[in-house]
């Protein structure tokens, strides 16, 4: 069973990246998804850390990532959105500054799919009737609304948002 670790809004914080990579090992994640504003070229984040990952990773560009010089790092400029398949579900990933809601996605999303965005720095997990599951993992480095730094885990049976410092579950949704 595939396990995705989802993060957003690192903003180049090397200690948050170190802790996320530690959580990936502890959680036995198979795939890293970053919903933008990783800040790989500024504030000291080491590009080599992502290049050396032994698992697949998916990145989308955020509003603070516009100046990335990926060609020199061996990366391509990340897209504004992408998708990943997980069984019957499509995970639609965007930062949230250009595509602000699931209705604006350039493909039809069903109630089985997951719309992942960041940008607000506020963790949330909702499944409105007739809509896809809406996931914002919050910010790994600078959360808002008095929330702790956070990340999300997605498996075929559950989505949870966890505190980055403690791994404590903050929100959970059982998938049907």
Per residue in 79-133, pLDDT (tens digit) is 899 999 999 999 999 999 999 999 999 999 999 999 999 999 999 999 999 999 9
Per residue in 137-168, pLDDT (tens digit) is 999 999 999 999 999 999 999 999 999 999 99
Distance of CA 30 to the CA centre of its chain: 14
Three-state DSSP at 15 gives helix
Phi, psi angles (nearest 5°) of residue 21 = -65, -35
Number of domains in the chain: 1
User: What is residue 103's predicted lDDT score, i.e. its pLDDT?
Assistant: 96
Q: Which ranges constitute the DSSP H helices of 36-149?
A: 47-51, 70-73
Phi, psi angles (nearest 5°) of residue 92 = -95, 120
Question: What's the rounded Cα separation, in Å, for the pair 105 and 102?
Answer: 5
What is each CA distance from 46 to 38, 77, 151, in whole angstroms? 11, 16, 20
CA-only gyration radius of the chain, Å: 15
Tokens at 7, concatenated: 């993060």
- Domain containing 78 equals 4-174
Strand partners, 82: 93
User: What is residue 140's predicted lDDT score, i.e. its pLDDT?
Assistant: 93
What does pLDDT average to over the chain? 88
Beta strands in the chain (DSSP E): 4-7, 31-34, 57-59, 81-86, 89-94, 114-116, 124-126, 133-136, 150-154, 158-163, 169-174
Question: What's the rounded Cα separation, in Å, for the pair 28 and 15?
Answer: 20
- pTM: predicted TM-score of the whole model, two decimal places: 0.90
Question: What's the rounded Cα separation, in Å, for the pair 24 and 45?
Answer: 17
Q: Is the pLDDT of residue 19 over 90?
A: yes
12: domain CATH number is 3.60.21.10
Question: What's the rounded Cα separation, in Å, for the pair 170 and 123?
Answer: 9
Q: Is the pLDDT of residue 76 over 50?
A: yes
Q: Is the pLDDT of residue 41 over 90?
A: no
């Amino acid at each position: 069973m595939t396990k995705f670790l989802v993060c957003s809004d690192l903003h180049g914080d090397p200690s948050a990246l170190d802790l996320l990579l530690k959580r990936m090992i502890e959680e036995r994640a198979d795939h890293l998804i970053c919903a933008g504003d990783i800040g790989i070229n500024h504030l000291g984040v080491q590009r080599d850390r992502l290049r050396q990952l032994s698992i697949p990773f998916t990145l989308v560009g955020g509003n603070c990532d516009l100046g990335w010089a990926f060609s020199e790092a061996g990366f391509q400029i990340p897209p504004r959105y992408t998708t990943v398949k997980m069984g019957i579900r499509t995970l639609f990933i965007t930062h949230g500054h250009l595509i602000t809601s699931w209705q604006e996605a350039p493909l039809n999303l069903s109630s089985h799919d997951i719309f992942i965005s960041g940008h607000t720095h506020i963790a949330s997990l909702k499944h409105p009737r007739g809509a896809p599951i809406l996931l914002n993992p919050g910010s790994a480095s600078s959360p808002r609304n008095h929330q702790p730094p956070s990340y999300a885990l997605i498996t075929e049976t559950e989505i949870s948002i966890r505190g980055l410092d403690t791994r404590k579950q903050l929100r959970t949704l059982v998938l049907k």
